[in-house]
Structure 1
Amino acid sequence: MLFELKIVRHYLRLLSADSFLNAIAILSVAISVAILLIIMSLTNGFHTKLLQHIIAKQGHISVTPIYQHIQNVHEKMSLLQEQQEIKHVIPVIEEHALVYNTNNIQKGATLLKGFLHEDIDLDLSDDCLKCMTQNGVIISNNIANILDIEQGDTISLLTINMIDDLSFNDNNTFKVCSITNDKLYAGSIVMNLLTLQQLLEYDNNSVDRIDIFLYDEQDTFSVACKILSLLQENNEVWYERSGIFLDAIKTEKSVMFLILVLVVIISMFSITSSLMVMVREKKYDIAIYTTVGASGFMIFRIFLIIGMCVSLLGIITGLSIGLLFLHNMDSIKNCLLYLSNYAEIFYAIHNFLLYIPVEIFYKDVINIFYMAFCISILATIIPAIIATHQKPARILRNQ
């Protein structure tokens, strides 16, 4: 083995001296590996961001009523909060309604959402919280724009239980405490839970749904089974509600991975061609090594190790480029913003990168490394086999 390593070291020095073809091979491998890592990290970012939006909207598990409403909600919430896997529970009421601007009688459809004050995931001032206890609501900016509503205006709400009495009175007239642009509440009106219970004529111990947030997402299905036996109520996990979207992203990630693996395989052909050229140039050396006693397997190992060294350099360079790019996204965005002063195209690229989520899973980095390394071994086998089939007598006679 020492003999092969000496020859490999000698040939690698020759490769660095005649660097153009080998530099192209290393660069092609590095670029393909870097692109694969970047695309996988972007897909991971989209998956995580979508999951966060799904869970933020209705939690990991939603308890829904067997009949019309969930009764004895305070007792059931106490039971749920005793479970060590559960981080937080939120009672929720949702109801579709018509909203009227009392100033100009414009109307539109909306979704009423009732929460306890501490469960409203918005940055609200003390004045706004106080306003909500006094028949106040928070509306989304898209409804405000459509109905020409401003903060401080009054609105009227018409729900299904008011269908027999279409007159508006103080019980269904509310003050707009704030206007939010949070996409979680797009198209919705947020109200105090007690206020919405009174509007819909619920008793104070009834809600439409209980949203449950867990410490660990992996416990979702086991906790859902426990809740079913504990409360004797229906429940629905986030994956049953929105799993189709995550499945679509997983499918997209798998397809992108396969396509980019093909790109890596194609880039490995450049290493194959580089080694083929080297075998042709060094055929006299191979003939001499064979004549002095080197076996075919020794020749095979020499060129296999050379190919692996070149491939490793390309793979490590590619992973380094990919990680540097991903870890310095903010600096790249700032640079593009500066360059946009000179060319409009850079501003468009900056805006594109601005909203792209990135999440690096180092498991993916390791998988990409092993996958690319295995492909590189396969790419070097053919030149190494050709090197072992050289005819030393014919080569030396021609020399």
Structure 2
Amino acid sequence: MRLPLSCFIGLRYHRANNSNGFISFISASSTLGIVLGVAVLIIGLSVMNGFERELRERFLAIVSHGELEAVNPPLSDHQHLLEAARAEPHVLGAAAYIQFSALIQKGKKMKAMALKGIDPETEKTVTSLHQYVGDEAWQALSENQPQLILGAGIAKHLGITIGEQVTLLLPKPQQQHLSSPQRVRVKVVGLMRAGGQLDNQLGFINLAYAQQLSQWQEGVTGISLKVDQPLFADEIVRSVAKTFPQLVFIKSWTRQYGYLYQDIQLVRTIMYAIMLLIVAVASFNIVSTLILAVSEKRGDIAILKTMGASDPTLLRSFVVYGSYNGILGCLWGAVFGVLGSLGLPHLVGWLEQALGHSLLSADIYFIDFLPAKLLWSDVFVVVVAALILSMLATIWPAWQATRVKPAQELG
């Protein structure tokens, strides 16, 4: 199949050995800049997608979407309130809980933690905590015994292993003034390994045992909820609270941990802007390449005009000439970006093993590993945006080629 004349001329100019090495250098640098910009943007977006996936599937699998906590605990008649909450159309599950601020002690070491009393059966309707604990430990928590499931980060910090006895320091029930805490000996029956910040904060005991410690026969601190639209959890929990006869605090993950989601979206937006600016700078190199190429080939352009080449043909020829770098850069950038997105988690894992140090600390980040999730829609958007920028950069220099006067150049 014969190529159109403009494509033939543009590709012929690009394949021809350029007598000006400076033009060749600028042309190569523009291609390399587009490759780096496209590849880094795809990899960066994949990492942000990975963080968002882990936030939804891991973090929100342990943290309830919303909570209704009694202003003056305990929450009275919580069974009726559970039924009322489950009747709401956007609520997928509800479970009662008792919340403690506690210190856990082993020997001379102590660490603060959030201790939560839960019912394992109803908790499954609200969170997927059991997936990060194990069936044996989860079954043990069903018994009304002094048994504890502990975050793996806390256990590592204090040197606690499964089966050990540890001491919990809890506030004395119904105590109105400062006093010494009550000490409770519990057995660690399992560890929660979520791989992140929550491993350093949480511990769980049986709900009935927590009621004994609080001296609440049937009372609870509040009710945790799972909703069908986590991003609108605050509005849904608020609508559920309006049906409650007792005053409650309205809590949702968007109020307590919403900054995580907002940070991910902010970084994604900044990354888009920065990387597209890198591609734009590389596209300006295409402008420089074409301007120099037009200056060098003014004689050739004049000859083509005398042979009958029209201005649109010359315009399209130099657009093809300049777009070749952009197309080549986008293709190689997409290839390196996809390969980098797929291999980056393994590379970071290998690097952490080699250094003996975690690059993402669980004390700071909500996960302690680097995730990545490649979306082909992101690849398409990035490549198309880079192609548009690189093609737009060719229009003005290509238009300059049509302004060449054959009489002045060949006279």
Q: Same fold (TM over 0.5)?
A: yes
CA contact (8 A) 1:85 1:214 kept: yes
Structure 1 residue corresponding to 2:68, chosen from 52, 59, 63: 63
Q: Deviations over 1:250-303 (max 9, x none)?
A: 333322322222211121133223323332333223213333454434432332
1:7 aligns with 2:1: no
**C-alpha distance in 1 between matches for 2:160 and 2:357:** 34
Task: Say which of 117, 139, 144 aligns to 2:150.
Answer: 139
> Who is 2:271 aligned against?
256
Letter in 1 for 2:244: L
Asked if residue 326 in structure 1 is aligned to residue 337 in structure 2, the reply is: no
Check conservation: 1:97, 1:160, Cα contact below 8 A. no
- In structure 2, relative to structure 1, the CA distance for the partners of 1:108 and 1:60 (3 Å cut) is closer
Query: How many residues were matched structurally?
Result: 382
Q: Secondary structure at the match of 1:358?
A: coil
Q: Residue in 1 aligned with 2:187?
A: 175
* Superposed displacement of residue 133, structure 1: 2.6
Counterpart residue number, 1:91? 96
Q: What is the Cα deviation at residue 238 of structure 1?
A: 2.0
Paired residue type of 2:40 = I
Partner of 1:367: 381
- Closer, same or farther in 2 for the Cα pair 1:37/1:190, shift >3 Å? same
Q: Please give the alpha-carbon distance, in whole angstroms, between the structure 1 residues aligned to 2:182 and 2:357.
A: 50
Q: 1:243 matched to which residue of 2?
A: 258
CA displacement, residues 4-23 of structure 1 (integer Å, 9 cap, x when unaligned) = 93132233034134385555
1:224 lines up with 2:237 in the alignment: yes
1:115 is matched with 118
Give the Å deviation of 1:99: 4.4
In structure 1, the partner of 2:363 is none
**Residue 274 (str. 1) matches residue 289 (str. 2):** yes
Deviations, residues 160-212 of structure 1 (Å, cap 9, x unaligned)? 4275885968xx443333455555342443210110011112232x3223222
Aligned residue number for residue 51 of structure 2: 46
Q: Which residue type is aligned with residue 33 of structure 1?
A: V
Match of 1:28 among 30, 33, 53: 33
**Distance in 2 between residues matched to 1:295 and 1:387, nearest whole Å:** 11
In the alignment, structure 1 residue 208 sits paired with structure 2 residue 221 = yes
Aligned residues of 1:60 and 1:213 also touching (Cα < 8 A): yes
Identity %: 24
Maintained 8 Å contact 2:145/2:206: no
Decide which moves more: 206-215 or 79-88.
Answer: 79-88
Aligned to 1:360, what secondary structure does the other structure show?
A: coil
1:347 aligns with one of 351, 354, 359? 354
Equivalent in the alignment of 2:126: none
Q: Give the letter for the 1:153 counterpart.
A: Q
- Residue 74 (structure 1) shift: 1.9
One-letter amino acid of the structure 1 residue matched with residue 289 of structure 2: S
Segments of 5+ residues of structure 1 without an aligned counterpart are none
- In structure 2, what residue type is equivalent to 1:115? I
What RMSD in Å do the two structures reach over aligned CA positions? 3.7
Q: Which amino acid aligns with 2:189?
A: C
Change (3 A) 1:139 1:8: closer
TM-score scaled by length of structure 1 = 0.80
Shift of 1:316: 2.4
- Closer, same or farther: CA 211–156 of 1 in aligned 2, 3 Å: closer
- Give the partner amino acid of 2:328: L
What is the SS of the residue equivalent to 2:404? coil
Code of the residue aligned with 1:159 in structure 2: it is P
**Equivalent position SS for 1:213:** strand
1:306 aligned to 2:311? no
TM-score computed with the length of structure 2 as normaliser: 0.78
2:78 pairs with 1:73: yes
Q: Matched residues in 1 for 2:153 and 2:234: separation?
A: 36
SS of equivalent residue, structure 2 residue 114: strand
**2 CA distance for matches of 1:300 and 1:220?**
55
Which secondary structure does the structure 1 equivalent of 2:385 belong to? helix
Write the distance in 2 (CA, Å) between the matches of 1:87 and 1:349.
42
Q: Is the 8 A contact 2:65 2:226 kept in 1?
A: yes
Assess if the C-alpha contact under 8 Å between 1:157 and 1:173 holds in 2: no
Structure 2: distance between partners of 1:152 and 1:31: 53
Instruction: From the superposition, tell whether residues 303 and 239 of structure 1 become closer, same or farther in structure 2 (CA, over 3 Å).
Output: same
